[in-house]
Amino acid sequence: MTQRITIRRPDDWHVHLRDGDILHAVAGFTARQFARAIVMPNLTPPVTSIAAAEAYRGRIMDALPADSGFTPLMTCYLTDGADAAEIARGYASGAFAACKLYPAHATTNSAHGVTDIRKLTDVLETMQRIGMPLLIHGEVTDRHVDIFDREAVFIETILAPLVRDYPALKIVLEHITTAEAADFVMGAGPQIAATVTPQHMIINRNAIFDGGIRPHAYCLPVAKREQHRLAVRRAVVSGSPKFFLGTDSAPHGVGRKEAACGCAGIFNAPYALESYAQVFDEDGALDRLEGFASEHGPRFYGLPLNEGTVTLERSGTAVPDLIGEGATAVVPFHAGETLAWRVVD
């Protein structure tokens, strides 16, 4: 049995670092494991301009020690009024690494999201031309569509036509949760990829109702049936370069989760690598962890691979029930469990 594994330093291609006190409370967990991260722009107000992205990047760096070595990759939140010229300027200058498409009201802080993708014709044409990735929260928002079907319906009604209309547009279908998503991405061209969270490979929808309602197992897209968990996991451990690490770590203060209408989001940043390592280990695919965590993402984005390394050993990590205190106390994914792997340096 492998006891120790050293991989190239990984990146997180989808994370919510938030702002203000909670940013200060959580940023270090991401910076400690990952060299770079694609930082989601769903703040209030959302990050829709170069100036807002630059200012947010500065606040992230201020929340970290000066020698953290961490590079936040900023994203532009698309609205109906998104400005193609500003987006192209921001991509050229490095202010934006990608644009994020939230269908309006699909998820946390998406009220300013896009109401109709046809409003984005200029933006999408520009992004296709300059090679800028489009990151998608892939769920339809129609209240008549069952919540467990919203990703599959999005793929059929929005994503498939989008891929046909913009055949060279680079697209990342974020945090995939279904067999339909895994199959779609696997069957599409090299310009289409997906991020996968640890939770969607570890829990199915039963976890949300395990002996009572479990708000800390609730995120969007919501966990699906077991067959979907297995399909997503198979795609990831297959080693296909189309799938890469994106935690979707989405911290909400404990009071905002444990409420009559609790927020969607799972805070998995503190033990993300341990969590992913466990998945690859259980599936006999530890040799493929490095590709998923450290190689497929940068290759898709056209960025260099990281230089440093991270070592994990099979020695057990006890996950606390709560991380932080007061208003920024957050319950982590795997709270109270012991994970098989530990990051040692």
Ligand X SMILES: NC(=O)N[C@@H](CC(=O)O)C(=O)O
Q: Do the strands 12-15 and 134-136 form a parallel or antiparallel pair, or are they unpaired?
A: unpaired
Rg (CA), the chain: 19
Could you tell me which stretch among 21-29, 68-76, 101-109, 198-206 binds ligand X (CB under 6 A)? 101-109
Partner whose binding site includes residue 270, from Zn ion, ligand X, none (CB under 5 to 8 Å by kind): none
Is 220 annotated as belonging to a binding site?
yes
Between 175 and 242, whose beta carbon lies closer to ligand X? 175
SS3 69: coil
Is 248 annotated as belonging to a binding site?
yes
Partner whose binding site includes residue 264, from Zn ion, ligand X, none (CB under 5 to 8 Å by kind): ligand X
Q: Is 294 in the site for ligand X (CB under 6 A)?
A: no
Q: Which residues contact 255 (CB under 8 A, 6 or more apart)?
A: none
Is 124 annotated as belonging to a binding site?
no
Question: Quick one: how far is CA 49 from the chain centroid?
Answer: 21
Q: Is 139 in the site for Zn ion (CB under 5 A)?
A: no
Number of residues that bind ligand X (CB under 6 A): 12
Is 289 annotated as belonging to a binding site?
no
Alpha-carbon span 125 to 168, nearest angstrom:
10
Q: Is 220 in the site for ligand X (CB under 6 A)?
A: yes
Partner whose binding site includes residue 42, from Zn ion, ligand X, none (CB under 5 to 8 Å by kind): ligand X
**15 C-beta neighbours (distance < 10 Å), count:** 28
DSSP 342: E
| Residues 231/182, Cβ–Cβ less than 8 Å | yes
Between 168 and 327, whose beta carbon lies closer to ligand X? 327
Is 283 part of the annotated catalytic residue set? no
Interface residue with Zn ion, options 11, 180, 248, 281 (CB under 5 A)? 248
Residues β-bridged to residue 323 = 330
From 62, 248, 287, 345, the catalytic residue: 248
What amino acid is encoded at 308 in this protein? G
Q: Is 137 in the site for Zn ion (CB under 5 A)?
A: yes
Alpha-carbon span 153 to 302, nearest angstrom:
30
Q: Is 108 in the site for ligand X (CB under 6 A)?
A: yes
What amino acid is encoded at 32 in this protein? R
Q: Minimal CA–CA distance to 10: which of 34, 37, 30?
A: 34
Alpha-carbon span 129 to 168, nearest angstrom:
8
Binding mask 127-166 for ligand X (x = CB under 6 A): ----------x-----------------------------
Partner whose binding site includes residue 8, from ligand X, Zn ion, none (CB under 5 to 8 Å by kind): none
Active site residues: 248
Residues that bind ligand X (CB under 6 A): 16, 42, 107-109, 137, 219-220, 248, 250, 264-265
Return residues touching Zn ion (CB under 5 A): 107, 137, 248
